[in-house]
Chain A
Amino acid sequence: MTRIIVERNFDPPISQDDLNACFQRIGGCLDLYGVRYIRSRISTDRRRSFCEFEAADAQSVRDVQSAARAPYERVWPAEVIGES
């Protein structure tokens, strides 16, 4: 399994309610696509976020975003450096 990063941009900045709704939809699709959610980071101005998943490939994660209607900029496999 590979770590996959999803980059998102929000203009205007995303509200907490919209973010929760997006994550709820994504959460509902994960099992189906064999994707495991790890964590997310959102910028303090709420315009950018990175979400980290674990999946067989980036396309599985893209399929989850698509199924959940969660917009994104890029999805790419990543190597983890520095995590204990």
Chain B
Amino acid sequence: MSEDGLRIRLLGDLQLQLHSRPLQLPPSKKTRALLAYLVTTGRPQLRERLCDLLWEGPDDPRGALRWSLAKLRPLLDVGARCLLVADRERVAFVQDGADVDVSRLAKLGAGGVGTAAIDDLRDAAALFGGEFAEGLDLPACSRFHEWCVAEREKWAELRLSVLARLVDLLADSPEEALIHARSRVSIDPLNESSHLAVIRLLATLGRHREALRQYDFCRQLLEAELGARPGAALERARATLKASSAARAADEETRTTKPTAAVRISDPVIVGRSEERAILDAVVAAASAAGASAKFLLLVGDPGIGKTCLLRYLGDAVVRAGGEVLAGRAFEAEMIRPYGIWADILARFSRQALPDATRAGLRPLLADGIEAAPNEGDRTRLFTAMVSLIAELSDRSPVGILIDDLQWVDDASVSLLHYVTRAFEGTCRVVVAATARPGELADNGIAQRLVQGLARETRLIELPLRPLDEKTTAALARTVAPDLNVASVVATSEGNPLFTLELARSLARGSATLPGSIGSALAEHLARPEGPARAILPWAAALGRVFDVGVLARCVKLTPSAWLEALEELERRGIIRGVGEERYDFAHDLIRSAAYGQISQPRRRLIHGQIAQALADALDANAGAGVLGGELARHAVLGGNDTLAARGFALAGEHSLCVFAHNDAIDFAERGMRHLARVATGAQRTRLQIALLRIQIIASGGNRQPHRGDLLDNLAAVVNVAETSGLASDATTGYYLLSELHYEDGDAAAAASNSLRAAEIGRGADPATAAVQLANTACCLLMLEQDVSRSRALIAEAGAMSDRSDRKSLWLLHGQALLRRWDGELDAAVPLLEQARTLAHRLEDRWEECRCLVWLTMIHLERSDSRASLACVDELLPLASKMGEGGELPFGRVLQALVQARLGQAGAQGRLESALDELRSFDSKARLAYALNAVGELTLADGRFDRVREVAQEALAAARATRRVCEAVRAQALLSCVLAAQGEHSAARACLEPVLEHLGNRDALSEGARQVALRAAAELGLCVQTLVQTPRPQDHT
């Protein structure tokens, strides 16, 4: 290996060295990821493929690729040639003598680890500086992510093989073997043999107490993560250790060990930065006086440089000036949560604190669970409402809008931030400030454009934070311990505040040697927790943001006391801090990254998979309020669960629709579809397909032309599958969507057809529900006097289903009663209706109770049982008066007056006329027809033919308008009787004859109407063949 020339290290943090000097890498993650990809694949790649890999989305991917290549070219320019070769079509990395770690290891792997020489294995172990492409996690770039995960697994497997072989070969050198054995445990902690090797080596070295601690750690880990107990080999090793008299010597060993000083970590304080603080104070003063136009403050700097501390200082300054702070923090893991930071900002406001108009506009972002419709124009309402809120807050005192980690803010949030910044361009009391990591901001195109636009308009104040000078660094270190000898801290930390504090704490704990990098300092810090604290650390890191103890508890099984102990220890060590009730965050994102970096790739997959399953289980148990689809999708993607990933993307897409982030919704739907392509066919896949297509269709709105054919075809195919699979609810959704698409195409017939089909199958749910629906439809048909033969069949079918489920339904009783009435079996209808009414009362279904009472009143009237009729209507009226229009109060009053008139009660006629007028105003023509026919039949007996003719004609018109055949026949029969009574026999016959042809079909006319027609025909002396009564078979169920 040459010390000159280019060296590239991909295992661990990406590093480039030229002539043994490290090269400054581009800060952009995607640029570094591109380099890793080109170097590892080692062959020409199409530009289009590289764009798909790293730059999905509507921005200019080719332009972004060109920009990244321009950043990489100077690094790969070695002497006479450049190792980056590119033309219009392809880009390639040409190794040409460069020393690449993965290339060397690939040769070892090809030759076989089992036959490699021990020195080669030692060199190989040394090459593994960490996992492949450490820190280059880009979960939003799914194709790169999948490739990176596969590479990590491959190199981790090789590393494990190398370490295992070294442990075997170094049996005679247990100290050296132990180093490799511990490395093996750190990579694959769930492998018992890794722990066993460590325990045996420690026992060999006489370190029995440590060996027993190693056993305890393994046992707790297996129990917490796999719910498993240690195997026989581990138990034997433990038993041997326990029995050994050397354990007593090990006790002596630990008693003489120098105790480490306990260092309580407190919140960081600002030391120095006087120039920056002066600028922030001036900005707040100007805002308080509303004497200057709003500027956008951007604090930029490397991780750990103190950006968040200064942002907090700015917030405190706003509060001291009597103002309000709206603060939000973005997380890398949450970039797929539209308007995430704004929702977090609004979470601090109670609903009551917001004015009504503002609350209505902001509803999509409020945590009250009421979502707005995703209509065009509502996005503007949301934006306007936010500006109104800020304007109101800043009316008399300054408002600080503080955004931490702008490079991770989602597109929708940046758009709203842009809108707010524009809205307060003039003199106002609004201060907008954000922090950002400079290189990573370039990976967020929309945030980058916001900043560039503000710079062009001279509205940007950029505050780059430089490393602290030596004096300030020393002062910061002494905040940990005043009498600390800080010289080595100052020398090593190079002015990075976070690194300074970590080093100072390490020194205060009594460490003999200081870590050489911030990474090693954090690794040392994270190695200190033990027991339950150590067990939950990887899970907390994997959650990737402010984490809820409740979510953690679903994944890690600990006793309540163990939880308290773990959280207290992590807080005490300054690894996490509380941010609310049962919510914690890592003290710094670098700490979280370091903790996550310590998790091996296979273990990460396991952890993310379990978190995803826990989130999905919470959703299924209706305990998942607040579970975000994006969160579920992220963990499922990283955990390799395509079904849950598709489900998460569907949820995220639905949420995006509700907050009008339509581009995000389409993106989520497409990503969900890609995962769904790998899910086996079945009900779950069909459901998710329809859900994702629905999101695509709604989010696309009117912009569907290029993909319309595909969408229609895909949707039609999957809806067909849903219907044949019995997924009624999903098929219903699909048909309604098809209906909408056809409607937009102007195909009304297809639209209506699909809509009806949706309604039809929408009723086909479980058997009990289906029975109710069938009986319901039968009742409707009988009430409408239509398709009675079908209603018979429906009642028979519903009756059979109800018997199977051993449950009589309200609608079934109702339907059976109406069928009896239709067939003239009035006495049999009454008890059925009374049962139905009792059931309706018990079910507190007042509408249905009113209907039953109406029918009972009518049937008793038809039975000529006036007293029973009156009793029913006396119950009906008070109930109907509470029901509003649905209670049929006007018809009830008519029935009451009718019965009273029949009984010859004084004043009944007048009340009847008033009630009829009311019924006319109520526009209930079918009821009016019935009532007028009843009045006509009553009046006919009195011989008031003009009155009868008048009401019968009105009844006929009303019956025909509402297609009530029976009432029309009754009216015609009445008219015929009047005409006959007045000597107009021809006219009477002409009036009745059209009716007579239906008399033979028992399903065409009710028995009541039939009898009225027969009596009228008999009066006229008409001979009707079909008038011979035939016995009706008993087919009621």
Contact = CB atoms under 8 A, between A and B. Distances in A.
Interface of A: 2, 4, 12-13, 15-17, 24, 27-29, 31-34, 44-45, 56-60, 62-63, 65-67, 69, 72-77
Interface in B485-510: none
Most interface-central of B780, B885, B924 (chain A CB within 10 A) = B885
A65 B370 contact: no
Nearest to B368: A12
B780 A57 contact: no
A12 B923 contact: no
Contacts of A2: 923
Contact of B885 (A27, A29, A62, A69): A62
Interface string B775-793: 0110011011010000000
Contacts of B851: 66
A73 B884 contact: yes
A27 B370 CA distance: 24
A34 B736 CA distance: 20
A44 B780 contact: no
A63 B851 CA distance: 11
Contacts of A56: 925, 961-963
Contacts of B371: 15-17
Contacts of B233: none
B228 to A, nearest CB: 43
Given A2-B923, A57-B962, A72 B784 contact: no
Interface residues of B, number: 37
A76 B776 contact: no
Contacts of B759: 24, 27-29
A66 B886 contact: yes
B373 interface: yes
Interface in B899-925: 922-925
Given A24-B736, A33-B784, A73-B884, A58 B370 contact: no
**Chain B contact surface mostly:** helix
B261 to A, nearest CB: 58
B886 A59 contact: no
B732 interface: yes
Given A28-B760, A57-B925, A63-B783, A72 B962 contact: no
Interface string B852-888: 0000000000000000000000000000000011100
B515 to A, nearest CB: 54
B156 interface: no
Contacts of A75: 885
A16 B372 contact: yes
Contacts of B360: 44-45
B780 A27 contact: no
Nearest to A55: B962
Between B762, B776, B922, the greatest number of chain A beta carbons within 10 A of the residue's beta carbon is seen for B922
B165 interface: no
Contact of B784 (A28, A32, A44): A32
Given A27-B759, A28-B763, A59 B923 contact: yes
Nearest to A31: B756
Contact of A67 (B356, B780, B922, B958): B780
Given A28-B759, A65-B886, A72-B886, A59 B926 contact: yes
Given A4-B923, A17-B371, A60-B962, 12 more contacts: A24-B732, A27-B759, A28-B762, A29-B780, A31-B756, A32-B784, A33-B780, A34-B963, A45-B360, A57-B925, A62-B924, A76-B923
A77 B923 contact: yes
A25 to B, nearest CB: 8
Contacts of B961: 56-57
A63 B777 CA distance: 12
Given A34-B963, A72-B886, A58 B776 contact: no
A66 B373 contact: no
Contacts of B884: 72-74
B885 A73 contact: yes
A49 to B, nearest CB: 12
Nearest to B851: A66
B381 to A, nearest CB: 8
A38 to B, nearest CB: 13
